[in-house]
Amino acid sequence: MSHTRTILLNPGPVTLSERVRQAMLGPDLCHREPEFTELQAEIRARLASVYPEARSEYVAVLFTGSGTAAVEAMVGSLVPDDGKALVAANGVYGDRIAAMLQVRGAPHDVIRTPWTEAIPLAEVEKKLQSERFTHLIAVHHETTTGRLNDLNTLGQLARQYDVKLLVDAVSSFGGESIDFASGTIEACAATANKCLHGVPGISFVVVRKETIATRTSAARNLYLDVIQNGKAQDKGHPLFTPSVQVLYALREALLEFDDEGGWQARRDRYRQRMTLVRDGLHRRRIASLLSEGESSILSAFLLPDRVPFANLYQPLKRRGFVIYPGQHWLDEKIFRIAVMGDLQPADLTRFLDAFDVTLADAPRR
Ligand SMILES: *Cc1c(COP(=O)(O)O)cnc(C)c1O
């Protein structure tokens, strides 16, 4: 079956390994059974150990929903009415966090930066100096452009000004460095189906144990309440019906993650793959959108002159490769390649060959 499989080069859901796909065929299971309690406990423990320094101070709270569910649960539950959040946004996902706070009616301010630029750290610092904030919120890997935001400096600023750091790490958790050791991170939202190589449908918030134990929730809904879901899961049962088969797949994906050497090994593998694709496309005179600050996971490339996205996408899809468009104003300008999932370097070499044929034949505007 491997010769017919489609290679997903979009930033999640990812190309699954056979091992993870087969895991979904596990036994039917009610979430009130002891076997489920065990499955849930194992997955939560493994998620809190993806970064081993997190294990002693943090727990994972599971949600049935996509990555956005976890992000909305995190920002909706943890920013209190008498607090104030500062959001540093340089892409679609940073803007989405601001929109969530807006909908929730939570006090907040936003520093918006053009999507092709880094978060202006001096401006963030000035803002933190000028006013009392309780939370600083940022996206780690801004999937809009493939930029890896400077989480370490944001963490230093958070410590210096005594604010809690909330991180959207949906597209970086398991594939990039995240500093849990310093304790600056209050919570971090992520999902099963990006760097962890699971199936879409389960997302999670890795949050300080102390927060679950001592804080009252600010959530204005029941389903996405990090504190109440965390307390229930600690007692052994989820509050609501979970996606059992997706959890089977996530457990297998986490076993595979360990077998492959953990997050550093995964990042190294992504870097090798990304270098192969970047160098290959650059040799074909395809330029990168960003000149610095790119992640190991995803790159944005400028569309060739007069070749709309569809004219690359359609023929590449027929050849077995799914590439990803830009969002909003970048939609006419870029295409994106992500290297998560069960890929081999040979798949990417074949992709570059397919790209050559596609580009040679592509109708120009
Ligand atoms: C994928 C992604 C999300 C969540 O998207 P879903 O479609 O809800 O899974 C959030 N933030 C970032 C940075 C992402 O890449």
Ligand 1, CB cutoff 6 Å, lining residues:
11-12, 66-68, 71, 93, 139, 141, 143, 168, 170-171, 191
Which of 10, 14, 66 for a ligand 1 pocket mutation test, highest count of atoms within 8 Å of Cβ?
66
Which residue's CA lies nearest to atom 6 of ligand 1? 67
| pLDDT cut 70: percent of the chain above it | 99
Q: Which two tokens stand for residue 61?
A: 């709270």
Evaluate if pTM is beyond 0.85.
yes
pLDDT at 89 over 90: yes
How many CA atoms lie within 13 Å of 201's alpha carbon, on the beta-carbon side? 13
SS3 126: helix
pLDDT tens digits, 199-253: 999 999 999 999 999 999 999 999 999 999 999 999 999 999 999 999 999 999 9
pLDDT tens digits, 193-206: 999 999 999 999 99
pLDDT at 4 over 90: no
Question: Which of 227, 241, 183, 184 is CA-nearest to residue 30?
Answer: 241
pLDDT at 97 over 80: yes
Using CB atoms within 10 Å of the CB of residue 19, give its burial: 0 to 12 exposed, 13 to 18 middle, 19+ buried.
middle
User: Which pLDDT score, from 0 to 100, does residue 5 have?
Assistant: 85
Give the span between the Cα atoms of 169 and 142, in whole angstroms: 9
Backbone φ, ψ for residue 70 (5° rounding) = -70, -40
| Residue 2 confidence class, pLDDT cut points 50, 70, 90 | very low
Is residue 214 within 8 Å of 37, Cβ to Cβ? no
Taking the centre of ligand 1 as the mean of its atom positions, its distance from the CA of residue 159, in whole angstroms, is 27
Bond before 107 cis per omega within 30 degrees: no
Using CB atoms within 10 Å of the CB of residue 137, give its burial: 0 to 12 exposed, 13 to 18 middle, 19+ buried.
buried
User: Which pLDDT score, from 0 to 100, does residue 364 have?
Assistant: 87
User: Which pLDDT score, from 0 to 100, does residue 1 have?
Assistant: 42
